[in-house]
Amino acid sequence: MARQRSFTSYVADRFYNELFAVINDYAEIKADSLNLRLYQVNKIGGIELTDITVKFASVNDLPGSEIEFEVVIDAEFNVREADYHYDTDEFTSQWFMLKCKGDLSCGLDDFQITDISIYNGKNRQPKPMSDALVPIISKDNLESIATDFLKRNYPKALLQPMAIDPSELAKSMGLTVKLKRITEDCSIFGQIFFEDSTAEIYDEKLCQSVEEEVSAKTILVDPETYFLYNLGKVNNTIVHECVHWDLHRKAFELERLYNNEASRIKCQVAGGVEGNSWTATEWMEWQANALAPRIQMPMGMFKTQASKYIKEYRDMLGKDDIIDVIEPVIDELAAFFCVSRLAAKIRMVDAGYEEAIGAFIYVDGRYVTPHKFRKNAIREDQTYTISAEEATIQSVINREFGELVRTGVYQYVDAHFVLNHPRYLEQRADGLVYLTDYARNHIDECCIPFDMTVKSTDKKDYYSVCYLNKDKDSTVSFDIKYSDGYQNSTDAAKKAKLVEEIVMEEMAIFQDLPNDYERSMKKVWDWKHEKEGLTYKELAERIHMDDQTISRLINNKRDPSINSLVLICLGMHLPPEISMHLIDKSPVALNYNKNDHIWYKFALTHLSKQSMISIENFFQEHNVQI
């Protein structure tokens, strides 16, 4: 069903004569009441319908394969003057609305026109359909449509929490599920057959596709889905195909009116929807994708089960904050409803648990600590989470962002740029820097947002892709770039005041630095020694050097290497601009043609306030030698 079919065009082509005849009869009988716009003819003496143009058809869905629709037609008339003293005629037009109905299962052979009237505006249909006969469904109606689906096909799922058996669901709808290897590359998860057909099936023994007879009302599911993905994906595929059967048979019948060889809908793995001009097939896929998890996890029952697991894990872990139990709760819900982790996570967000947005975010080969921000704090195409590589790129190519982070006001911690303030960052007994509990619950208050562009997607809703689909096994990849800075997140005035407190002292030191290396290093050391009581021995322990070497390097009795100077700057937790001043005035320099040096610059810029344990771990993760 790759081509876009138009019901309006089909009606205009096939039923032109019938539509013409009804309008012609109406005009002859009610010529004086047509209210035509005439400028030369004063009194109608005769009227002739010369042509009609179908403008559009407004379709209402009915049970089974029946539809009713209103056809709006622009009719052109030739009107003659009644007064014989004037040999005058003129052309004019009038719009009409014709109410029609028919059954698609018989190819609209029973087409009827039930009423005709002057067009005075488009009517709102109770169950509207698009011109491709795809139901028009808004996001706001998805829950009610899923509930209606279950009432008709699996009502017990609305009485108590349970995992829906997709094979039982299909059977209740008169459908048969068969496991068949559909393609060699597993690019098609499932197919729903509306008519008896000959299908191509991949034969693993012959290593080629072969033809096989498939009956109508059959769902084929590729068994490789079990091995490549999980049971949740298989269940979702079957429910997905059941939605196609329930909602999209009329679109299929329209396709058959154009092409009687059509027999099925294929549901492929990949292929994103870009822009706003979606085809009928893309809309059908969106509807099936959106409704399947709502059918598998009906909202009322899902909330009941979620509340149960939240209470259990709060008691088990001794935690009151939902953010501390959100990940095991999501996994329990996924196992209970036999769905994927991502599906359960998205459903938690649908249910109002904003904590789920920051759960199971996979960056730099690990999961980020669960965190929370208000759902509308940033746009749907933005994120607070950014990998180290993406952060490095942005700090180099974006001058505004580079200047912002070089001040040291923001620290790169747990894949976020976090405002460097005790309210948001803390160093624990293990020597590592962590987000405080307050920060984890208020990410939008203390972190910088970034814009995201989806580079590849598997036809998920854009919100689901950008906000939620960053799990370890996600097929989605992103381009990340700096947005408009911290001032876009909430409580900018409070944030600005905190920034000022942190920056002013460090900026005063920076502005007083001499223009040579030896005196600059001495001034920086004196500042750290007086302010924090830092000693050569303590610094030596931090960066794994002996204190005599530290003394000689600090007092310029020995030329530093770039490695030792970077370590000294990091060990003293210097603001980035002070570190770069020391390096610029020193006899050594960073070489950005070397990968290690790029990471040195990143650490000096983004990690300067973190413990050396954190920095060493970071270097190890990225194979940096220092």
User: By CB neighbour count within 10 A (0-12 exposed, 13-18 middle, 19+ buried), where does 457 fall?
Assistant: buried
pLDDT at 450: 87
For the cut 80, the answer to whether the pLDDT of residue 607 exceeds it is yes
pLDDT at 232: 67
Map tokens 């989470």 to a residue.
385
Q: Are 486 and 495 in contact (CB under 8 A)?
A: yes
Angle, alpha carbons 368-371-377 (nearest 5°): 120
Give the helix, strand, coil percentages of the chain, each rounded to 5: 45, 20, 35
pLDDT at 330: 96
Mean pLDDT of 552-581: 92
How does pLDDT run across 338-377, given as a tens digit for each residue?
Answer: 998 989 999 999 998 888 988 888 887 788 888 888 767 8
For the cut 90, the answer to whether the pLDDT of residue 296 exceeds it is yes
Mean pLDDT of 231-243: 84
For the cut 70, the answer to whether the pLDDT of residue 401 exceeds it is yes
What angle do the packed helices 7-14 and 249-258 form, to 10 degrees?
40
How does pLDDT run across 455-464, given as a tens digit for each residue?
Answer: 554 444 433 4
User: By CB neighbour count within 10 A (0-12 exposed, 13-18 middle, 19+ buried), where does 299 fall?
Assistant: middle
pLDDT at 285: 87
What angle do the packed helices 231-247 and 142-153 form, to 10 degrees?
90
* C-alpha distance across the termini of the chain, in Å: 58
pLDDT at 109: 95
For the cut 70, the answer to whether the pLDDT of residue 99 exceeds it is yes
Q: What is the largest CA-CA distance in the chain?
A: 122
Mean pLDDT of 386-391: 86
pTM over 0.85: no
Tokens at residue 273, please?
A: 């929807």
For the cut 50, the answer to whether the pLDDT of residue 465 exceeds it is no
What is the residue type of 388? Answer: A
For the cut 50, the answer to whether the pLDDT of residue 562 exceeds it is yes
Strand locations in 554-599, DSSP E? none
Bridge-based pairing of strands 450-456 and 477-482 is antiparallel
Bridge-based pairing of strands 362-363 and 264-268 is unpaired
Q: Are 341 and 334 in contact (CB under 8 A)?
A: yes
Spatial CA neighbour of 251 closest among 2, 3, 56, 5: 5
Q: Are 443 and 436 in contact (CB under 8 A)?
A: no
Q: What residues contact 587, with CB distance under 8 A and at least 6 apart?
A: 517, 559, 560
pLDDT at 269: 43
For the cut 80, the answer to whether the pLDDT of residue 17 exceeds it is yes
User: By CB neighbour count within 10 A (0-12 exposed, 13-18 middle, 19+ buried), where does 573 fall?
Assistant: buried
pLDDT at 23: 95
pLDDT at 610: 77
Q: Are 575 and 375 in contact (CB under 8 A)?
A: no
Q: What percent of the chain has pLDDT over 90?
A: 39
pLDDT at 493: 55
pLDDT at 497: 61
Mean pLDDT of 285-308: 95
pLDDT at 2: 47
Q: How confident is the model at residue 141 (pLDDT cuts 50, 70, 90)?
A: very high
The listed range with the strongest mean pLDDT (19-23, 214-218, 576-580) is 19-23
For the cut 60, the answer to whether the pLDDT of residue 159 exceeds it is yes
Q: Where are the alpha helices (DSSP H) in 195-340?
A: 224-228, 231-247, 249-258, 280-296, 299-317, 326-337
For domain 512-621, is the CATH number 1.10.3720? no
b (16+ CB within 10 A) / e for 86-120: eeebeebebebbbbbbbbbeeebeeeebeebeebe
What is the residue type of 96? Answer: F
53 vs 466, higher pLDDT: 53
Mean pLDDT of 8-28: 94
How does pLDDT run across 478-512, given as a tens digit for each residue?
Answer: 455 555 544 444 455 555 566 666 667 788 888 99
For residue 343, give the 3-state DSSP assignment: helix
What is the residue type of 51? Answer: D
The listed range with the strongest mean pLDDT (51-65, 349-363, 530-544) is 51-65
Mean pLDDT of 368-388: 83
For the cut 90, the answer to whether the pLDDT of residue 158 exceeds it is yes
pLDDT at 500: 65
Q: What percent of the chain has pLDDT over 70?
A: 86
Cα–Cα distance list, 462 to 64, 139, 456 (Å): 32, 13, 11
44 vs 450, higher pLDDT: 450
